[in-house]
Chain A
C-alpha cells in the first residue's frame, strides 16, 4: 500500500513484482516472436470459434454423458447431450475477448488519468494519484463482485465491473513514465519552442509511455482471464444456457466424480488460455521492454 508516500516515489516497494506473478525467464527473441504468434493464433481461434465449433453449443446433439473420444464428441458430451468441445470453444471466445475488452478499457482510463496526472503535475497529480492508490489498496476481484452485485449480474455488467477496478495499475505506470519523460531535453525543447501543454502531452509525452503500458497490459491478460473465469464460476456471468468457461464448470460440479470431463474441460480451457496469455505477454515484454 503506497498511500502515504510522497508522489515521486515509485508505487510499490518492489517494482519488479508484477501483480499476478508472471514468468520472468529470459527467452530469446525467437521465442518472443513465438509468443506473439501464439497471441495471434489464440485471437484467430477465438474469432472463428463459432465457425470451428463442430456442433451447436446450445442444442443437444446426441447422447448425454458421453466420455471424451466417443463418436462425434472429441471432448465428450454434457448432461443433456450438448457437445463439450463446441461449448468450450464458444466460451473461450467470450473469455478472450472479455479479457481484451477489459484491458483495453483499463489502458484507456488508466492512460488518461496517468497522462493528466503526470503532465499537469501539482495538486491535480496529488489528487489523481491518491485516488488511484485508494483503488490499488483494495482487492480488485472482491471489489468487482460488489460492483456486479449493485449493477445486477450479466456479462456486460461483469466486464464493466472488472473494468472499473482494473485501471489503477496502468495509471501508475503511465504517470511514472510521463514524470521521467517530462524532465527529458526533447520536452524542454518543445516547451521552449512555445508548444502548448496539450500538444506536449499528446505528441511528446504520450508516445514514450506507450511501450511500458502495453507491456504491463499484455502481462495482465493471463491474470484477467483467470479473474473473469473466477467471477463467472461464482455466477456473475451470463444466465444458464449460454456457454461460459467458469460457469460451465460450476454448474456441472455434481458430475465431477462420475463424468469428470464436463466440469474439467472448461477449466483446462481457461488454463490453456491463461498460459497462452502469459507466454504471449512475456513475448511482448521482451520485444518492447528497453530495460
Chain B
C-alpha cells in the first residue's frame, strides 16, 4: 500500500529514502499516464474491496440471527450458547471483531458454514472451478455475441429490423426462461446438446486448474474437452444473451458515431478501404463504451450464473448459494458475496486498464 501511495503521490517516503536517482526514476514512471491510471485503479479497487468486506461484516451484525445459536442448533441450552458466543468472540467490542474479520480475510478465513460445519473457504474451493469456467465462458460469449449483434443489426439487410425485434424481446427474457427454453429446444426436441452437469465422462483428469476444458487440453484428453464444451454451450448462452444485446447496442451506437467522425472521413478520403478504416482508426475509439458496458454487465451475469446453475444442475457456487439460502447460512452467503464482489471489482479494474490501453486519452 505504501509503495502504491508513493507511486500515485509522485514523491513519497519510499522515494525520499531511496536516493535522488531512484526518486527521479520514480518521477519519470509516474509521469507515464498509464502507470498513473494503473496505480489509481489498483488503489480504488483495494478501497472498494475493504468497504465490501466491512459492509458484509456490518450486515452480519445487523442480522437478527445469532451465529452461536445457528451453529449449535435450535435445541442448544442458554449456557452452551453463551459459551459458544465467548468462543467466537461475539461479546468483544464491535471494532475488535471487525478488525479480526478484516485481518482474517486475506488469510482466507471466511468463517464456518452453519450448514456444512466446514470452513466456508473449503466449501467455496470445491464449487468455484465449475462457476469460474461457466462465468468466464459466458463473459467471452457475451463479448463475441455482442460484436455479432452490433454488426448484423447495423448492416443493411432485410432481416435487420426483425433481428432487432428478436433481440429486444430476448433481452427482456429472464435468464431462467432462456435456460429452460434452451433445454426444451436443444435437448428435448433436437437432442443436440446435454442439459445437465459439467461432463458426462466419469474418468475425468484430476487436473491442476479444475477447469475441465483446460485440464482436458493439458492432459491431452480431447474427448473431455469437447464434452465439457458441449455442456457449457446452453448455460453460457442463457447467461450471456441479455448482456450481449446490451453490449451489441452500445457497440453499434459508438461504431456508427465514430464512423461519421472527421478523422474517419479523412482516412477514407485518402483512399483506405472501409475495413482498414475500421481496423486502424475507428475500432480503437469505439471499443471503449462497449468494454465498460461489458464490465457493468458482469454484475448481471454473476446473478445469472447463480440462477442458471440451478437449471442445469451445474455443480458451482449457485448450488451452494441455493442450498444456503433456505437455512439462512449467512457465512456461506457472505463468502459468495465477497467472492463475486471481488470478481466484479477485479474485472472492472481490468476493463478500466484495457480502456486506457485502447484509448490513451483516458487517464482518470
User: Bound pair: A and B?
Assistant: yes
Residues of A that sit less than 8 Å from B by CB? 1, 3-6, 9, 12-14, 16-17, 19-25, 134, 137-143, 145-153, 222, 226-227, 229-230, 233-236, 246, 249-250, 253, 256-257, 260, 263-264, 267-268, 270-272, 274-275, 277-278
Q: Judge whether A137 and B348 touch: CB under 8 Å.
A: yes
| Chain A neighbourhood of B81, CB < 8 A | none
**Chain A residue with minimal CB distance to B340?**
A142
Asked, given contacts A147-B59, A152-B328, whether A21 binds B48 with beta carbons under 8 Å apart, the answer is no
**Chain B residue with minimal CB distance to A271?**
B173
Query: Out of A1, A16, A141, A271, which one reaches B177, CB within 8 Å?
Result: A271
A-facing mask of B277-288, CB < 8 A → 1, else 0? 000000000001
Q: Which among B19-27, B216-224, B239-247 touches the partner chain?
A: B239-247
Asked, given contacts A21-B249, A146-B333, whether A253 binds B180 with beta carbons under 8 Å apart, the answer is yes
Q: 10 A-B residue contacts at CB 8 Å?
A: A134-B51, A138-B52, A142-B299, A143-B341, A149-B329, A151-B63, A153-B326, A235-B322, A236-B325, A274-B172
Q: Judge whether A150 and B51 touch: CB under 8 Å.
A: no
A291 to chain B, nearest CB (A): 14
**Chain A residue with minimal CB distance to B60?**
A150
Asked, given contacts A226-B174, A275-B168, whether A4 binds B40 with beta carbons under 8 Å apart, the answer is yes
A240 to chain B, nearest CB (A): 11
A-facing mask of B236-271, CB < 8 A → 1, else 0? 000000110111011001100000000000000000
| Chain B neighbourhood of A9, CB < 8 A | 364
Give complex CA distance A270, B168 in Å: 14
Give complex CA distance A22, B245 in Å: 9
Asked, given contacts A1-B345, A17-B296, whether A271 binds B44 with beta carbons under 8 Å apart, the answer is no
A230 to chain B, nearest CB (A): 5
| Chain B neighbourhood of A14, CB < 8 A | 250, 254, 288-289, 292-293
Query: Out of B48, B295, B324, which one reaches A138, CB within 8 Å?
Result: B48
Query: Out of B48, B59, B242, B293, which one reaches A17, CB within 8 Å?
Result: B293
Q: B171 at the A/B interface (Cβ < 8 Å)?
A: yes
Query: Out of A6, A137, A142, A267, which one reaches B174, CB within 8 Å?
Result: A267
B28 to chain A, nearest CB (A): 22
| Chain B neighbourhood of A249, CB < 8 A | 176-177, 180
Give complex CA distance A253, B333 in Å: 23
Asked, given contacts A4-B40, A14-B289, whether A264 binds B180 with beta carbons under 8 Å apart, the answer is yes
Q: Judge whether B307 and A233 touch: CB under 8 Å.
A: yes
Give complex CA distance A18, B269 in Å: 34
Give complex CA distance A189, B355 in Å: 42
Q: Which among B88-96, B102-110, B181-189 touches the partner chain?
A: B181-189
| Chain B neighbourhood of A5, CB < 8 A | 364
Give complex CA distance A253, B253 in Å: 39
Q: Judge whether A264 and B328 touch: CB under 8 Å.
A: no
For the A-B complex, the count of residue pairs with Cβ-Cβ distances under 8 Å equals 214
A-facing mask of B321-364, CB < 8 A → 1, else 0? 11011101110011011001100110011001001000000101
Q: Judge whether B48 and A134 touch: CB under 8 Å.
A: yes
Q: B41 at the A/B interface (Cβ < 8 Å)?
A: yes
| Chain B neighbourhood of A25, CB < 8 A | 164
A91 to chain B, nearest CB (A): 13
Asked, given contacts A21-B246, A138-B341, A271-B169, whether A4 binds B43 with beta carbons under 8 Å apart, the answer is yes
| Chain A neighbourhood of B328, CB < 8 A | 149, 152-153
Give complex CA distance A137, B292 in Å: 12
| Chain A neighbourhood of B246, CB < 8 A | 20-22
Give complex CA distance A30, B38 in Å: 48
| Chain A neighbourhood of B44, CB < 8 A | 1, 3-4, 137
Q: B311 at the A/B interface (Cβ < 8 Å)?
A: yes
Q: B128 at the A/B interface (Cβ < 8 Å)?
A: no
Q: Judge whether A140 and B60 touch: CB under 8 Å.
A: no
Q: Judge whether B293 and A234 touch: CB under 8 Å.
A: no
| Chain B neighbourhood of A256, CB < 8 A | 180, 183-184
Asked, given contacts A17-B293, A152-B65, whether A267 binds B176 with beta carbons under 8 Å apart, the answer is yes
| Chain B neighbourhood of A137, CB < 8 A | 44, 48, 345, 348
| Chain B neighbourhood of A235, CB < 8 A | 322, 325-326
| Chain A neighbourhood of B303, CB < 8 A | 139, 141-142, 145, 227, 230
Give complex CA distance A9, B174 in Å: 34
Q: Judge whether B334 and A149 touch: CB under 8 Å.
A: yes
Q: B194 at the A/B interface (Cβ < 8 Å)?
A: no
Q: B300 at the A/B interface (Cβ < 8 Å)?
A: yes
B55 to chain A, nearest CB (A): 8
Q: B228 at the A/B interface (Cβ < 8 Å)?
A: no
B327 to chain A, nearest CB (A): 10
A-facing mask of B46-75, CB < 8 A → 1, else 0? 011001100010011011110000000000
Q: Judge whether B174 and A230 touch: CB under 8 Å.
A: yes
Q: Judge whether A143 and B293 touch: CB under 8 Å.
A: no
| Chain A neighbourhood of B352, CB < 8 A | 1
Give complex CA distance A192, B245 in Å: 50
Interface centre among A148, A222, A233, A275 (most CB of B within 10 A): A233
| Chain A neighbourhood of B293, CB < 8 A | 14, 17, 21
User: What are the 8 A-B residue pairs with the smallest beta carbon separation, nearest first?
Assistant: A21-B246, A139-B299, A267-B177, A14-B289, A141-B303, A275-B172, A146-B337, A149-B333
Q: B298 at the A/B interface (Cβ < 8 Å)?
A: yes
Q: Judge whether A253 and B174 touch: CB under 8 Å.
A: no
Q: Judge whether A19 and B296 touch: CB under 8 Å.
A: yes
Query: Out of B164, B289, B322, which one reaches A16, CB within 8 Å?
Result: B289
| Chain A neighbourhood of B329, CB < 8 A | 149
Q: B120 at the A/B interface (Cβ < 8 Å)?
A: no
| Chain A neighbourhood of B59, CB < 8 A | 146-147, 149-150
| Chain B neighbourhood of A142, CB < 8 A | 299, 302-303, 336-337, 340-341, 344
| Chain A neighbourhood of B295, CB < 8 A | 1
Asked, given contacts A1-B44, A150-B62, A235-B322, whether A278 binds B341 with beta carbons under 8 Å apart, the answer is no
